[in-house]
Structure formats: C-alpha cells, structure tokens
Amino acid sequence: MLEMKSISKVYRTEHVETHALSELTVTVEAGSFVAVMGPSGCGKTTFLNTAGLLDTFDTGTYHLDGQDVSKLKDREMSRIRNEKIGFIFQTFNLIPDLNVFDNVDVPLRYRGMPAGARRQAIQESLDIVGLSSRLKHLPSQLSGGQQQRVAIARALAGTPRLILADEPTGNLDSAMANDIMDLLEKINETGTTVIMVTHDPELANRAHRQIHLLDGRQIDLEMDEPVPLAGDRAATVGE
Amino acid sequence: MFSYLLLTAWRSLKRNPFLSLLVVVGIALGIGVSTTFVTAVYRLSLHPVPEKEDRLFYVRMDSWNPERPWRDSLPDDPPDQMTWRDALEVTSGDIPTHQTFMYKAELTVHPEDKDMRPFRASTRLCTNDFFALFEVPFQYGGPWSNAADAAAEQVLVLDHATNAKMFGGEDSVGRTLRIEDREFMVAGVMAPWRPIPKYYDTHNNPFEDPEEIFLPILLSESMEINGAGNDSNWKGYERNEYADTLASERIWIQTWVQLDTQRQKDDYAAFLDAYALDQRKMGRFERPLNNWTQETAAWMRDQHIVPAEAKTLLIISLLFLVVCSVNLIGILLGKFLARAPEIGVRRALGASRGTIFMQHLLECEIIAAVGGLAGLGLSVLGLWTIEALFVIDLNFKLDLNMVGAGMLLALVAGLLAGTYPAYRVCRIPPAQYLKAQ
C-alpha cells in the first residue's frame, strides 16, 4: 500500500536546520493496521503528512498504492487525497459552521459526486459511527467523542483505501478513546489500511504492527520491550 | 463543483459579516464615484441619432483668410460654420438624401391672448429637410413644403411646449401666430424632442433646449433676421444693407447633409471641391482646398461636447476605484488568512490549490457584485446631484449599458482586490495548520 525509501525532509530557517525525516524507509502492507510511535518531535506527524501527500519531501522515493507520487502535481495529489486517503486528526478539524451532514459532505463535493450518491454515502458512514441521528447538529453541539466520530465518518465517506489518523484519541477520555479504537479496528477489518500515530502504548498494542521513530528514522524495537514514553528521548537515544 | 464553491464562498461571507460589509462599502464607494463619471461621459458621448451614425455629416469649408488659418491652434481645420452664400449653394444640389442650412435667431411672438405679453422666442431658421435630417417627431401636422421653402412662405413649426403655451396643446395646424410684424401659419407641432447634446448646433450651449419656433430660412432675406448664435468674420464689410451680411465672408451658418451611400459621399466631396475651385476663380477660397463632410461623432469631439474636465474626472474616479480595490487587498488578506486552518482541512480532504483559489475569488466576486449594486445606487444619487448642480436636464440616467458597465467595473475591482489574497491563501501549506487547529 505504502512504500517509502530513504525519505528525508529538512525544515530550514535562517539559522536552524531541522531534520524531520532522515533516510526513512517504511513499507506498509495493504489492509494492515500500523501504529506509529515515538517521542515528541521524532517526525511522526511529518511522516503522516508526507504519507498523506500534505507535505513534500526532499529526497527519497514514495510509492502509494503502486504509484510514484514524488513528482505529482498539486491537482493530482489532491485527487489522490480525495479518493484514496481519509484523514483523522487529534483536534477533529471539523468545520465549525457546517453541520454534521455538511462536514461529511466536504470530500464528496470535491470528488464531484452527484447529490443522491453523496446523500447515501454520508448516511452510510454516519450509520457506521452511530451518528446518523445528528445530521443537523453543529460540531459545537457535540461531545469530543462525537466530533471525532463525525471526523471518522468524513474520512470514511469517500471509501478510502488508506486511513491516516494523527493521535485520534489524544483529546478524548479513555472510554471514548476505546470507542474510537473499536471503530478504527472495525474499519480496518473491512480491508482499509490504517496508519495511526499515537503516544499511547496500549492503543498501539492493538495495531498489527508498530513503527517506532526517533529523530526522523525508524528504529527497531521488540514488541515486548517497553515502548518509550512521550518526550522520553534520552531513553530511546540510549538504545 | 461551481455551485458548491459558490455556496462555500457565501457561507464564508456570512461568517464575518462586519468585514464583508466593510469590503462591500469599499467597492460601493469606488463604483458609485466611477460609474457616476463613466455615465456622465458616456451620456455626453452618445451618438444622438445612432441609426444615422455614419450617414449624417456636418459640412465645413475653408473659405477663411488666406494669410492665416481659422484657428492658429488647429491650422488644418476648416472653420466650423459657413458663410450664407456658401451654405445656400452647397445645399442646392440633389446629391444628399437630406440637407439643410440654418442658424439660430430670437424673434418676438405676439400672442392673440391679450392677457399674455409678447415674448422673445428662440427660433431656428432652416429648410424643411431639417426635420427629416434630424428625425424630429411630430405631434400634429409636419414640416412645411418644399414650395414653402422656395417661396419663403410665412409658415412655421412649433415645439411641443410652445404649442401648449400658445394653443393649450391643441392641434394648432392651420392656425396663425404673429411673429414680429407678420402672421405665420402653423404647419406642424413637434412632439416632445430634446436631443442631448443639441448636436445640430453646439455653438452657444450644447445642452440648451431646441428652439421653440422653426421658420423657413429664406425668410431671413425679407425679414432681415439676424443670427443669435456665435459668428466669426475675417474680412470686414460695410453693413449698410442686410444683403451685405448675406454676401459677406462672415461665418454663422450650420450646414448638414445626409449621405447614405459611398457614391453619395464621393459625389458630394467632389461637388464641394468643385464649388470651392469655382469660387477660387472669383478670388475666394484662396487657402488650400480643405472641405470636410464630418461625421457627427467627430463633429461632437471637435466641439468638445465632453469637456476635458469631465474626462479628467473620469480618470480620477477610475483611479479612486483602483485605490479602493487596493485598500481592500489588506482586509481580504486578513480575512482569508484567518481561515487558514479550515483551508488546511479542505486541502486534506481533496481541494486543490486551484479549487481554494477559485472559492476565494468567488467570495470576492460576490462581495463585488453586492458592492456594485450598492455603488449603482450611489451613482444614481451622484448623477442626480450633478444635474441639480447644472440646473438643466442632461439626461444623466443609468441605462442598461451603464448598469452593465458598473457591474463589470465592480467585478474587475473584486478581481483586483481578491486575486492576491486568494493566491496567498491557496498557497498555504495545509500540513502547517492541521495540527494547530
């Protein structure tokens, strides 16, 4: 599904160069559920943004679903994002003045789907997350968990092959976080590849595979070893 | 997709109504001022008889002083009026479809009603073709006959208002009116007619009303009617008799012809040149041959119907619109950049840069359209104010062309104001705001 080889990404300011990704090589099989872990600043989000074609990279190659995406134009990358990738964010990122229906509708509109098909897709995805009775609610009228469910419905509505979730439970209590994880597992069971960034080892353990990043590189960790905690860079570096 | 972008733009507008209103007001002010002056200049520049745009000609002949041109500043131009005898001669042929020569005078009308005092009436002395040439509408009757022209009969045409004043607006054809010391029979009454500008004679005031009374021009000889318009003369003469004026080099007559075909145009040009060469043999027309049949639009330009000040104001007003638009760039940029996180989300969900650019440009165009409508309202007020200041009816009204031009200007102003902010906002890296939202 996703194959990155020697991907590097450097953020430059006048005085500082930050290596967000350094020669990162990652492969994710189609249909897998992968958790990406690592301390803050290790490049998890940059990896996810690169994987989601939201950010460019400086060197390396990246094939998504068999297609080399390194030289695509903005319009082509936008189409791939729209058709193949669903995003779930920690802060939900719902558009505040659109109701639930209209929020889920956004990616379908950009795909140019006819109204009937859009309505059906929205209904089905909201059924999956259990919010089909809240079509007219604004995000501000929903709880955090419900908002994240709407965001998941939005990601699902376009039936993407890949879900990229950036700390999807980071703003939720443990009960709600479990619900969201259940949902992601359910989605994965339908064949959708899920890549989830998380700091939570328990949630990461529910994934098929974990990728650990440190200083923009993937590091090898045995699954039964303690996973470095957020911000615990020294422990990771020492290995 | 377009409808969705429009809907998104509309929602975005409603999200921050105060800023949106501020931009609308900015555009409205610019459009109000610019459309006012565009309309004024457009109205003044309009061809008064568009269907005769390339067929109606003002005749000019250079019978002026061989020592110096008619105007030192315009050495190539023939004089803008003609002598009596030249005008009489060059309208005596049968080449033009219609032709007339004429001048303006003031005569005293003596009403039958003893309660009414005699009054001075603006009068035009012309041939009967005047009415066909300038498509004058009639309410009653019509122009006097060719025979009446030739015999200088005492007939007249009244304008609508004078007929109302003298005869209560009734059909007065066949009734008589005393002018100076003679009785005139009414041949026709004009329907309301007010060409703006009064292009057939712009010498005094191109925006004054047409004359109240129209008489056969050959009556001038027997009634010795002096002109009340501008005149010029390069060669002195003794004014013992009225005939001396008619025979002089004084230029005071306007001459118009209608030439419908190229053949007529060529023939009439040749006719004028032949006439001038004939006159040269008699010691006149000593200047280089320079006879013009000038299209009405060019004639009006030469007469500066649109004052230079109006053109300057037009340019200033358009610059004002540009300044308004440029000022709005900052407001729109702030408004759009405040929405960066949402744009990040939309980009993540599949909106391309082009889509985001188009959405924001559409928002600007909606604002511009609303501002344009408000500006047109201000423009109506502005035009009304100009007319009130000039105390005459200039017919400065917004027609469909001007409404279209105003809206087009507004949309262009919207583009001018919105393109850079829309470009900036579509270039925002989406990843930068997704985490921070």
Interchain contact A113–B (C-beta under 8 A): no
Whether residue A65 lies inside any domain: the answer is yes
User: Considering CB atoms only, which of A54, A154, A166 is closest to B430?
Assistant: A54
Q: Is A79 on the interface with B (CB under 8 A)?
A: yes
Q: How far is A224 from chain B (nearest CA, A)?
A: 30
Nearest-by-Cβ selection for A75 from B344, B345, B352: B352
pLDDT score for A225: 44
* A184 occurs within a structural domain: yes
pLDDT tens string B15-28: 888 888 888 998 99
Helices B400-426 and B353-390, interaxial angle, to 10°?
Answer: 150
Give which of B10, B427, B434 to mutate to test A binding, by max A Cβ within 10 Å: B434
- Nearest chain B residue to A49 by CA distance is B431
User: CA-nearest residue of chain B to A114?
Assistant: B1
Which residue from A81, A94, A112 is facing B348, i.e. has the nearest CB?
Answer: A81
Nearest CB among B1, B345, B355 relative to A93 is that of B345
Average pLDDT score over residue span B132-141: 96
Model confidence over B196-214: pLDDT tens digits?
888 899 888 888 889 999 9
Indicate the length of chain B as a whole number: 437
Predicted-complex ipTM score:
0.87
- Check whether A229 has a pLDDT greater than 70: no
List, in sequence order, every beta strand (DSSP E) within chain A.
Answer: 2-12, 17-28, 33-37, 59-64, 67-68, 85-89, 162-166, 193-197, 209-214, 217-219
Provide the domain limits for residue A174: 2-93+160-238
A-chain residues near B11 (CB < 8 A) = 97-98
Q: What is the mean pLDDT of residues A106-116?
A: 92
What's the token pair of residue B66?
């061989």
Contact A49/B431, CB-based, under 8 Å? yes
Domain presence at residue A104: no
User: What is the DSSP track for B341-387?
Assistant: HHHHHHHHTT--HHHHHHHHHHHHHHHHHHHHHHHHHHHHHHHHHHH
Q: What is the mean pLDDT of residues A162-191?
A: 86
Q: Is residue B142 over pLDDT 80?
A: yes
Residue A223 has pLDDT above 80, yes or no: no
The pTM is what?
0.70
Q: Kindly report which listed range (A143-152, B7-16, B83-92, B203-212) carries the lowest average pLDDT score.
A: B7-16
> What are the boundaries of each domain within chain B?
2-47+307-434, 63-289
Predicted pLDDT of residue B428? 85
Give A9's strand partners: A21
DSSP A5-70: EEEEEEEE-SS-EEEEEEEEEEEE-TT-EEEEE--TTSSHHHHHHHHTTSS--SEEEEEETTEE-T
Q: Give residue B392's pLDDT.
A: 65
CA-to-CA distance for A108 and B375, rounded, in angstroms? 38
As for how many domains chain A has, the answer is 1
- Whether B349 sits inside 8 A of A45 (CB atoms) is no
**pLDDT tens column, B153-198:** 999 999 999 999 999 999 999 999 999 999 999 999 999 998 888 8
Question: Chain B residues with CB inside 8 Å of A55's CB?
Answer: 429, 431
Residue A64 lies in a domain: yes
Looking at residues B36-40, what average pLDDT do you find? Answer: 85
Strands B56-61 and B291-295: antiparallel
We report the CATH number of the domain holding residue A47 as: 3.40.50.300
Answer yes or no: is pLDDT of A45 > 50.
Answer: yes
Which chain A positions have a beta carbon within 8 Å of B348's beta carbon?
A: 52, 54, 81, 87, 93
Q: Residues B413-421: what's their mean pLDDT?
A: 92
> Shortest Cα distance from B6 to chain A (angstroms)?
12
Identify which of B342, B350, B430 has the shortest CB distance to residue A82: B350
Residue A139 in any domain: the answer is no
